[in-house]
Amino acid sequence: MPLFAGVDVGSSATKAVLVDEHLRVLGRGTGDSGADFAGAAESAFEQALGQAGVTRDIIGYVVSTGYGRGNVAFANAQRTEIHCHAKGAFHLFPRAITVVDIGGQDNKIIQVDRRGRRLDFAMNRKCAAGTGSFLEEIAHRLRIPLQDLSGMASRSTDVTVSIGSYCTVFAQTEILAKIRAGIKREDLARAAMVSVARRVLETLAVSNEVVATGGVVAHNPPMKEILSEILGVVVHVPPHAQHVGALGAAITAAGK
Amino acid sequence: MSEPIPRARPIAAARLMKRVMADHFLRLDEAARDPSRKVAWCNSVGPGELLHGFGFEVYYPENHSAILGATRKATEYIPYANARGYSPEICSYLTADIGAFMKGFTPLKKAYGIEAVPRPDVLVYNTNQCRDVQDWFRWYGRHFGVPCIGVHTHRNIDEVTDTHVASISGQFQELARDLAGIAGHSLDMDRFRDVVRLSARCSQLWEQVLRTAMARPSPLTFFDGTIHMGPAVVLRGTKVAVDYYETLLQELRSRVSDGVAAVEGERFRLYWEGMPIWGKLRSLSEQFLGLRSCVLASTYCNSWIFNQLDPDDPFDSMARAYTELFIVRSDPVKEQYISRMCADFQVDGIIYHDARTCPNNSNNRYGMPGRLADRLGIPYLTIDGDLNDLRLYSEEQARTSIEAFIEQLDQD
Ligand code: SF4
């Protein structure tokens, strides 16, 4: 029986997923997209093959998605990340949901009905606000490694601290002022995540359960509770949240 | 692997149009250098008929700025106007045009060998579309030391009433008195009526051209429309424009009877609400071709349909025509209009272009897309961009949104 692959070449990370005809996940791969999308796709795909313990010739169909979807030479077809995230999230939560994907350079909000049909979607505007790169900038300003931002945010004790400006540059100056005023880094780290969640709130009305996907929620556990608080709905973060787009692409490749 | 992208089908009349537009600019250039002739600048939905009635050669800066945009020069010159205090948030037709002028650049040089835009004897605006035209023209008025006069239209109105018409008609008549002083003679009413008659005819023909897109498949796209509307903008009121649209209409009608599609294998029919993104016409048009989707109707191209023009009542009918325009109206009227268009053209989806620097043509900003989606049951997409300032456009994001929108239509 052939297997099916989905490759999601995002602006920051490239993800690959292999599924069988029953849509069971057999392998995953991840890597930095860097400046070589084709190479990143190749290596994430290889990783997934290795994890599944199979070789390329068993793959029946490959669908690519994400910013670099056009750079995947071995893909049989391309679909947008909007389609693939909706598909992947609905597979995991087969009911009316709102998919909130927060990626490195953009975020997408997608409304899916109870049959899995997309009703509406919106992408963020043309800046870093509400994306992973906003958090990167803030971590940099706080002089902490990005991977420590999450732990720091979870130790916040003052949830009233907020960052009002969404422009990354304005936010940085605001943070400087707050550091000067003696506000703790922990509280500022959390405030940065609240800012990301607020941008989601502004993008599209969210009325049902949210399935949050993408690297930002995968790597920052406090985001789940923050999103839920800001949006006022139940928020699910599936395991392997970063791979939901690639999963959706693999499901599409399987023709499901 | 994806299928090869079908090729755009060129419209044969385009060659004639190129000649017509070249003649227009060359005539203006000559007039500007001939002391016995007078040049008036006018906004695109300004009182061109009145100016032709006086015998002015009429030049349209918006058209010039759209050429800057379409030739991808606008973004290069906008910063010079920004640096002189004209904000990057205001009309990028204005900033591109003034910025280019400051640097002594015009795309007319490469296209027609014309060194500079024609020196005006007067600048005439109508604020029916926005305040920016007034500020724009005043800059040139100060620069050239010539009068800048205009008409102040009511905005956001529901029905056009006799009071509105009387006010605008009165302003046109006052304008005529001022223009007489500049032209050096009074208005020749016979000539004026004749111009209004030709303009009305041009408008009817242009409307018929656009309505050929009601056919399935459509013989023309919005992108074709933005190019072929040139004569309706800059030459309405002349016989040249009438002749041109007769030719174009004939070609499109024969396309319809032969079943020739502008977009081969047309699957979806879309409405474009808002300004064109001038520097991206080609790439957008190619993307839609590849998606086998035809953007075939728009508010924008319809802006040069003036149904009310009547040679027997030139002042009042002009007042009515220029006040009945979409851009002058309230949201309920606009929604009614778009609803009718969507029904007439059997539209599957609406694309709103939120042009950052033109709030006047960005109708998505006060909740209209949601209201119309509820009313019509037609999905919509909003693209962030701009008419001329490509710094405000994320091509990747727009392309992905468009592709995802077509995928969404596909699932139904
Ligand atoms: S309507 Fe918009 S694009 Fe046209 S002149 Fe006014 S502001 Fe500029």
All structural domains of chain B: 16-411 (3.40.50.11900)
pLDDT for A126: 62
pLDDT at residue A130 greater than cutoff 90: no
From the CA of A101, how many Å to the nearest CA of chain B?
Answer: 15
Which of B384, B392, B403 has its CB closest to that of A80?
A: B403
Residues B37 and B57: beta-carbon distance below 8 Å: yes
Which residues, other chains included, contact B33 with Cβ-Cβ below 8 Å and sequence gap of 6+? Answer: none
Calpha distance B368→B334 (Å, rounded): 9
Contact B408 A106 (CB under 8 A): no
Q: CB-based burial of residue B157 (10 Å sphere; 0-12 exposed, 13-18 middle, 19+ buried)?
A: middle
pLDDT for A103: 87
Nearest CA in chain B to A118: B408
Ligand 1 geometric centre to CA of B97 (Å): 12
From the CA of A104, how many Å to the nearest CA of chain B?
Answer: 14
Q: B234: closest CA among B34, B407, B62, B94?
A: B62
Q: CB-based burial of residue B196 (10 Å sphere; 0-12 exposed, 13-18 middle, 19+ buried)?
A: buried
Looking at chain A, the whole-number percentage of residues with pLDDT higher than 70 is 99
Calpha distance B296→A100 (Å, rounded): 33
Phi, psi of A166 (to 5 degrees): -100, -15
pLDDT for B190: 97
ipTM: 0.90
3 state DSSP class of A109: strand
How many helical (H) and strand (E) elements, i.e. helices and strands, does chain A have? Answer: 9, 10
Atom of ligand 1 nearest to the CA of B275: 3
How many helical (H) and strand (E) elements, i.e. helices and strands, does chain B have? Answer: 18, 8
Ligand 1 geometric centre to CA of B145 (Å): 24
Phi, psi of A62 (to 5 degrees): -125, 130
What is chain A's mean pLDDT, rounded?
93
Residues A132 and A216: beta-carbon distance below 8 Å: yes
> What is the number of other CB atoms lying within 10 angstroms of the CB of residue B186?
12
Calpha distance A152→A154 (Å, rounded): 5
Q: Any CB–CB contact under 8 A between B379 and chain A?
A: yes
Identify whether B332 is preceded by a cis peptide bond (ω within 30 of 0): no
Atom of ligand 1 nearest to the CA of B93: 8
pLDDT at residue A70 greater than cutoff 80: yes
Phi, psi of B271 (to 5 degrees): -110, 135
Q: Any CB–CB contact under 8 A between A84 and chain B?
A: no
Query: Taking residues B305-328, what's their average pLDDT?
Result: 96
Per CB-CB distance under 8 Å, the chain A contacts of B392 are 126
For residue B66, give the H/E element and its range: helix B61-70
Angle, CA B369 vertex, CA B368 and CA B375 arms, to 5°: 85
Per CB-CB distance under 8 Å, the chain A contacts of B393 are 126
Residues A1-93+241-256, CATH architecture: 2-Layer Sandwich (3.30)
Ligand 1 geometric centre to CA of B91 (Å): 6
pLDDT tens-digit map of B90-116: 999 999 999 999 999 999 999 999 999
Q: A112: closest CA among B77, B408, B318, B242?
A: B408
Calpha distance B306→B322 (Å, rounded): 7
A-contacting residues of B 390-409, CB under 8 Å? 392-394, 396-397, 400-401, 403-404, 407-408
- Residues contacting ligand 1 via CB (< 6 Å): B 62, 91, 93, 129-130, 132-133, 358, 360-361, 387
Contact B2 A83 (CB under 8 A): no
From the CA of A119, how many Å to the nearest CA of chain B?
Answer: 8
Residues B157 and B328: beta-carbon distance below 8 Å: yes
pLDDT at residue B382 greater than cutoff 50: yes
Atom of ligand 1 nearest to the CA of B130: 6
pLDDT for B69: 98
Ligand 1 geometric centre to CA of B94 (Å): 8
Nearest CA in chain A to B369: A120
pLDDT for A202: 86
Ligand 1 geometric centre to CA of A217 (Å): 42
From the CA of B136, how many Å to the nearest CA of chain A?
Answer: 28
Phi, psi of B245 (to 5 degrees): -70, -25
pLDDT tens-digit map of B45-77: 999 999 999 999 999 999 999 999 999 999 999
Q: Locate A204 and state its tokens.
A: 């599209």
Query: Taking residues B248-276, what's their average pLDDT?
Result: 97
**From atom 5 of ligand 1, which residue's Cα is the shortest distance away?**
B133
From the CA of B319, how many Å to the nearest CA of chain A?
Answer: 40
3 state DSSP class of B384: strand
For residue A224, give the H/E element and its range: helix A222-231
Ligand 1 geometric centre to CA of B175 (Å): 22
Residues B114 and B25: beta-carbon distance below 8 Å: yes
Q: Locate A2 and state its tokens.
A: 């052939």
Residues A162 and A191: beta-carbon distance below 8 Å: yes
pTM for the structure as a whole: 0.94
Which residues, other chains included, contact B163 with Cβ-Cβ below 8 Å and sequence gap of 6+? Answer: none
Calpha distance A180→B335 (Å, rounded): 51
Contact B2 A125 (CB under 8 A): no
Domain boundaries, chain A: 1-93+241-256, 95-237
What is chain B's mean pLDDT, rounded?
96
Residues A217 and A71: beta-carbon distance below 8 Å: no
Strand partners, B282: none
Nearest CA in chain B to A116: B411
Looking at chain B, the whole-number percentage of residues with pLDDT higher than 90 is 96
pLDDT tens-digit map of B211-240: 999 999 999 999 999 999 999 999 999 999
Calpha distance A110→B20 (Å, rounded): 48
Q: Which CATH number fits domain A95-237: 3.30.420.40, 1.10.10.10, 3.40.50.1970, 3.30.413.10?
A: 3.30.420.40
Confidence of residue A125 (pLDDT cuts 50, 70, 90): low
Cβ burial B224-259 (10 Å sphere, 16+ → b, else e): bbbbbbbbbbbbbbbebbbbbbeebbebbeebbeee
Contact B407 A125 (CB under 8 A): no
pLDDT for B1: 42
pLDDT for B4: 66
Alpha helix segments (H runs only) across B125-220: 132-144, 162-183, 189-211
Q: B259: closest CA among B5, B9, B7, B3?
A: B9
Q: CB-based burial of residue B366 (10 Å sphere; 0-12 exposed, 13-18 middle, 19+ buried)?
A: exposed
Calpha distance B97→B140 (Å, rounded): 10
Per CB-CB distance under 8 Å, the chain A contacts of B396 are 67
Could you tell me what percentage of chain B is helix, strand and coil, using 3-state DSSP and rounding each to the nearest 5?
55, 10, 35
Per CB-CB distance under 8 Å, the chain A contacts of B379 are 119-120
pLDDT tens-digit map of A181-194: 999 999 999 999 99
- The reply to whether domains A1-93+241-256 and A95-237 share a CATH topology is yes
Q: Which amino acid is at A135?
A: L
